[in-house]
Structure 1
């Protein structure tokens, strides 16, 4: 390290894909040109994206050590078998640079079996991998300190058991730790029932490649213990067991005492995964599509008055897409679906998507296995009862006791609770008479014969200290699966919230009742100051200038060939305390729904940034920082999609779903065209086929009830029918083609936009008149544009037929 003022410098090395430990050099005291001459070894898998973080610090005995900078270096840059000296400049003006020597060597061994979808990687068995030598040095001479990390990537299970020699033991605990394991630390109590303990030993699940060790802390007040003087132990008073040296399947005693023996046994874990890695649709959804086609084909033949039956490859995929808005969107969803039902268009649809308040309506509908085959008037009347009832009872003493009991039970089950869960219980009261035991997986009964469109609920995964413009990841929920679209990782819906490690289900938690999901899908309380700022500003440039991480690409003074999958070397310079405090204040969310991440322990493929599926949704500032992406987090932090864009469309734009027509039902407050403009801009930036929205300024000022947008030139672009929430011809017509008489004109005055409108997003109670008017308005807007709906469906069928030829 050269060019630093007199400091007590040391360097940290962090390669999370190879080790759980952040290691560091010795500290060079009072030196502006420190030389460490230390070498560190990592065993790496070349198909994993390995980014080494080299941090430079100034040691301080009184205050926290000063963090000068960190270099993010992609190990894939190092040619195999060569010694490369790199110079990382932190500040060209001050001529500060860190000199590091790298050498990459092949290590012979059995071939490795990996499972990957091109983005995420799971490794199964010992492999032919590489050894990375990292030398923090200023010159080529000098002695070097070595740290070895030679391990396999297979997932193993360690069983730890106490065999008691005497029945009467005082209550004492043994602390067991395996760093980097799923369990991390567990306490074993000697006074527990030995019969139960022998049948249920303490278990740790770990991966071999991180050189795991079992650290044992024995009771402080103890008689004489004797330990085996073998390679398993490093300390006589506190055993440290190198797990990779244990023979698989054999029981080994690591500590002996007059009263008990402590033994361990390592076993290989099953290679079966509980996380589905792949971008294709699930088997269950593909089976649903086959069954749904017969309903869609029959409905299209009837609606379009076709003479012949449609062949399978002539049937377009139609989707109904709703947007959020609290009780307003719940009410309008019922009205729109009522209009579509009267046109027989619901049976033409394959998918129905929603977010925020529209998920409340969807969840209610899918309690009934045959809802779309029945008259919706009953559902609408039931919803009216709850929308118009007094909500004061939601805060009664009896209800608060119920909330507390339910949250305590949820916490005991292993879920991480927050205010969002309380909001979910309040939603349950707002929409139901009593406890609602319905779960997302129960909705399979409503689609098992293809009798209804497949529901898709949408949320986004966010990260602390980042706005949704900087970091968000689309998450979709169906009765079959929950998945992160960008990573191509999915789990069964009943396993959502359970604990996973390396793609395996470790601890199954009871499936959340759907009211908790409804609370998360409509989490109004996840806002922050930056979101409020963005409501009146179109740019975050001001905040980025003062609060965003200072990460810049840097040039290395070494001639290395640049390959497409390699990342540029980046320099991170920490912000000052004032900037950090400001960033925390403006990005901190009031409350976020957190669920155990099913990506925990998985790793990114070396070529993940070149994967087309990943790039489709690559839109965050951390996408080129693999060590900080979601697979390294313990929890998913999920919020309402409306905190980014008020849309539930992204799951429909997965190319695997091949959606041909989208009925975009907009229920936003304020500007009706803004969410569509935001969506169009976003899809264009992502390179996702989507029709261009072309409207004149005059049209934007006075929107009509429906617009049809299409792009016949770009393959894969769906036809879009956009229904803004407006009160246009409904003021003069009570039904399509039926004028209002003078006494009926008052019913056509539905106030959607004024400050006195009863349909505020934050209003949870409507008058019966207001509820009925909103249902009738949205029903009318659908019926009055039957011609455009039929035009879109007919065009989609014609496209499919032309494509056959």
Structure 2
């Protein structure tokens, strides 16, 4: 055994509504949702019935995937891209000898430290192991050895945590050393001295050895950032024996409970009742999916027995057996317990190598097919609007994208006007992509219910939106609607989802923007792009973490009708599968796809704020708070100094914060509420060279990117929030190099500063090395912005041409259409107060008058039409560059 076992025999330890009206509505909704939490227990728990349903579902077969055209990874490798591959990779034996520590400072007031070291290598074992505690000694000596079986292509970072054992209070955590195993060379033994505190001369001495291990190499699947490893399926079966009845015979196993547990498996623990009316058979075994490399143990608690204290013992007969799963022959039934009343069998088999997620950084096949079809609309449209003499060839056709920003109902309304303006100019037919966040996602999801919306005028859609924007909203809190909300939330809980206030917000949005229940789903929008008849919609969100501000940790997430994914890791799932449960890239439990209202709630989750976000709104940065909200991490010296390798991480020391810092950090970073969905990255591991991968490096911008054990693949849930909590922009999916976007029409609907989000985007792209045009707006213009700015990106080769449309009211005050002045009686219609203190267009306004709605639509449409020349100039520039590039 090579999974953290040590030489010692001890076991490891175990009308128009005002902002005030909106606030009252929010408080009412919050109180109602709290009531639901109490009465319905909306936290998702895995009941036995739910597990039986889970186990009865089969993983999607390879044949059906190929038939549906959605098979992304083929076991034979024919359809894999060059960036994703299957390979055989050796495993090594890592020996860790915890020798001693010196000059450990006193943590207790009345006594010396009682030190022990806890070892954690999550890429090799589910368990944490520890040395014995040495009492009242500042220079403890342990000399204990531990063994781990590690995969050479995985980033293995060993955590060595020093604790002071306390009997009454919780053990004091003194510090943790993070050591990258990639520093070690095969076949060599080194003794490392980690200088943990130079002033106090604290030091931890540990010996390491890395050796070959017997057995065949392991088959892995990797895209250079994530690694998927082999998983197995264990079936545990109980068969009750028939026997003759006797008068004085004791009761049989009627209603007796068996408990099965495989630590680190997808299922975890299953408690199953066996009674006279329920006898196990081969059609109903208890199943566990686990990673073979961690070599876990099956822990069985028999009826009438208590769970054994150790998972390492092996007890047979009528006791509670524990079986090390590597000892079970593959594909064979093995008897674990033979009893007069029942037999207990176990069988382990390898799971297929193909994955149910797409590992890769390229575009999915469906999007590539869409681009080919969409080009048949775009090329003739460009020829027409640019008045070209010749048809555009494929390589001469630029990729044009429409990018929007959030802004609640203001952005929903203004986007309709902008799109109608682009339609009148013929430019809408030139667009390949349409991206959105927050309020613009509400417009997009409404439009894509019509399979041919961009081929028609938008008057019908605008009229429908006008009806809902001007209706009374108080009905959304009626008793009838509250009952409906409760029913829908309970239904999501039964489906196996973790519900939150964000789900309730999505249902409220549904009532605000629709008549009755809306069964539309994101994957239904495939019908609106199956012929390339409309631009491809992309919706955005960011993944965040507890205890971290959005500036410190955020990861871009994109949603299309085809798939949902994180470009940083190069991992995507079919849109129909988002929210389902995955383990190591395999689909474990299929959950019904969410109705789009719940996604709209998440995309516009204005309730997912924290104190630091509010601080950041009024200050240029949150640097003042970093001493309270960031981990204290320092690079430390080590002896001997090992040769530096390109992909290795520096050895670092983490010093835990005190109780006051912990409390303050929680108060500053905790979010009011957050949307959580099952993490489809769960179980993956980071590749040894992930930091050197250029695609990961492009989006590497969080404080945890060099801490692989704490990245997203280790989380059970994704925590998704409105992109506006970082930057109010949906441009990031368009900057993916594989999409090759040439022109971006930036439609801005932000409140306050119209150029702040654009400045933030430029700064972010510059820091990340992402090609983006330099924004050069004079101070004079910043005081009084024009209706449109053209940034051609000439100073940044490869950057897209950017057209920036701030939402302002400039010449519209005097002109009702380009070149048509207003009469005296029409001047009032041009007075659109967008951002004043009495403006009806506050981000928090949820109801407009008919006049306010019409004026905003007309203004946003006018600003597009009045800048036709700049739009045509940008398109001409893009075509010329495409032709020059081919030459």
Alignment TM-score > 0.5, same fold: yes
**Are 2:548 and 2:629, in contact at CA under 8 Å, matched by a contact in 1?**
no
Match of 2:180?
74
Q: Quick one: distance in 2 between partners of 1:256 and 1:764? A: 68
Match of 1:3 among 100, 103, 115: 103
Q: Quick one: distance in 2 between partners of 1:564 and 1:728? A: 55
Q: Give the secondary-structure state (helix, strand or coil) at the position aligned to 1:614.
A: helix
Match of 1:144?
none
Q: Give the secondary-structure state (helix, strand or coil) at the position aligned to 1:272.
A: coil
Distance 1:484-1:193 versus aligned 2 partners, 3 A rule: farther
Match of 1:173?
257
**Are 1:232 and 1:254, in contact at CA under 8 Å, matched by a contact in 2?**
no
Match of 2:555?
473
Q: Quick one: distance in 1 between partners of 2:805 and 2:672? A: 33
Match of 2:298?
214
Cα drift, residue 713 of structure 1: 4.1
> More displaced, 504-513 or 5-14?
5-14
Cα drift, residue 108 of structure 1: 3.5
CA-based RMSD: 1.4
Q: Give the secondary-structure state (helix, strand or coil) at the position aligned to 1:30.
A: coil
Deviations 1:274-304 (A, max 9, x none): 1111000000000000000010001001100
Distance 1:192-1:655 versus aligned 2 partners, 3 A rule: farther
Match of 1:262 among 332, 340, 344: 344
Q: Quick one: distance in 2 between partners of 1:496 and 1:433? A: 26
**Are 1:436 and 1:513, in contact at CA under 8 Å, matched by a contact in 2?**
yes
Q: Give the secondary-structure state (helix, strand or coil) at the position aligned to 1:526.
A: coil
Cα drift, residue 604 of structure 1: 0.3
Q: Quick one: distance in 2 between partners of 1:118 and 1:630? A: 16
Q: Give the secondary-structure state (helix, strand or coil) at the position aligned to 2:401.
A: strand
Distance 1:192-1:212 versus aligned 2 partners, 3 A rule: farther
Match of 1:593?
675
Q: Quick one: distance in 1 between partners of 2:190 and 2:512? A: 65
Match of 2:33?
none
Matched, 1:33 2:139: yes
**Are 2:417 and 2:861, in contact at CA under 8 Å, matched by a contact in 1?**
yes
Match of 1:204?
288
Matched, 1:722 2:799: no
Matched, 1:333 2:381: no
Q: Give the secondary-structure state (helix, strand or coil) at the position aligned to 2:375.
A: helix
Q: Quick one: distance in 2 between partners of 1:318 and 1:425? A: 34
Q: Matches of residues 769-784 of structure 1 in structure 2 within 5 Å?
A: 769-784=851-866
Cα drift, residue 702 of structure 1: 0.1
Q: Quick one: distance in 2 between partners of 1:66 and 1:404? A: 44
Q: Quick one: distance in 2 between partners of 1:361 and 1:18? A: 47
Q: Give the secondary-structure state (helix, strand or coil) at the position aligned to 1:482.
A: strand
Match of 1:60?
166
Q: Quick one: distance in 2 between partners of 1:581 and 1:713? A: 48
Q: Give the secondary-structure state (helix, strand or coil) at the position aligned to 1:411.
A: helix
**Are 1:481 and 1:490, in contact at CA under 8 Å, matched by a contact in 2?**
yes
Matched, 1:527 2:609: yes
Q: Quick one: distance in 2 between partners of 1:196 and 1:443? A: 44
**Are 2:231 and 2:289, in contact at CA under 8 Å, matched by a contact in 1?**
yes
Q: Matches of residues 199-598 of structure 1 in structure 2 within 5 Å?
A: 199-220=283-304, 233=315, 237-598=319-680
> More displaced, 62-71 or 183-192?
183-192
> More displaced, 344-353 or 165-174?
165-174
Match of 1:90 among 181, 196, 217: 196
Runs of 4+ in 1 over 6 A off after TM superposition: none
Cα drift, residue 505 of structure 1: 0.3
Cα drift, residue 122 of structure 1: 1.3
**Gap runs ≥5 in structure 1:** 124-153, 223-229
Matched, 1:20 2:96: no
Cα drift, residue 573 of structure 1: 0.1
Distance 1:221-1:596 versus aligned 2 partners, 3 A rule: closer
Cα drift, residue 39 of structure 1: 0.6
Cα drift, residue 547 of structure 1: 2.8
Q: Quick one: distance in 1 between partners of 2:189 and 2:325? A: 32
Matched, 1:756 2:816: no
Count how many residue pairs are aligned between Structure 1 and Structure 2.
Answer: 768
Distance 1:382-1:567 versus aligned 2 partners, 3 A rule: same
Distance 1:376-1:195 versus aligned 2 partners, 3 A rule: farther
**Are 2:316 and 2:336, in contact at CA under 8 Å, matched by a contact in 1?**
no
Cα drift, residue 558 of structure 1: 1.0
**Gap runs ≥5 in structure 2:** 1-100, 107-111, 244-251, 307-311
Cα drift, residue 476 of structure 1: 0.2
Deviations 1:406-454 (A, max 9, x none): 0000000001100000000001001100100011111000001100000
TM-score normalised according to structure 2 size: 0.85
Q: Give the secondary-structure state (helix, strand or coil) at the position aligned to 2:227.
A: strand
Cα drift, residue 196 of structure 1: 7.1
Cα drift, residue 189 of structure 1: 1.0
Matched, 1:42 2:118: no
Q: Give the secondary-structure state (helix, strand or coil) at the position aligned to 2:135.
A: strand
**Are 1:233 and 1:254, in contact at CA under 8 Å, matched by a contact in 2?**
no
